[in-house]
Amino acid sequence: MKKLLSILFLGLLLASCSEVKTEKMLEICADQNFERMIGNTPLLTLTLKEKLLDTSYHNYHTNCEARQLRRRFK
């Protein structure tokens, strides 16, 4: 029983870590694309929640997310 609970705990721990890592990868992707097209602006120093309030940055983030989903389901 302890082994089963340990395996379940580790599985949940790994799943939650990968979600955080994926979100950070999406932010980096959006930052790079935004900087390449718009330029280095003070917007890039904000938190992700604050960045997403800007519609153009939100579009770059959405495009990165869509690309990530397409890769995952290929």
Structure tokens at 51: 């960045």
| Amino acid at the residue 28 | I
Evaluate if residue 18 carries a pLDDT over 70.
no
Evaluate if residue 19 carries a pLDDT over 70.
no
In angstroms, how far is CA 52 from the centroid of its own chain? 12
The residue among 32, 20, 17, 16 whose CA lies nearest residue 64 is: 32
Q: Rounded distance, CA 37 to CA 29, Å?
A: 12
Contact 44, 67 (CB under 8 A): no
Residue 28 CB burial class (10 angstroms; 0-12, 13-18, ≥19): exposed
Kindly report the average pLDDT of the chain as a whole number: 83
pLDDT band at 69 (very low <50, low <70, confident <90, very high): confident
pLDDT band at 33 (very low <50, low <70, confident <90, very high): very high
Evaluate if residue 17 carries a pLDDT over 60.
no
Q: What is the pTM of this model?
A: 0.68
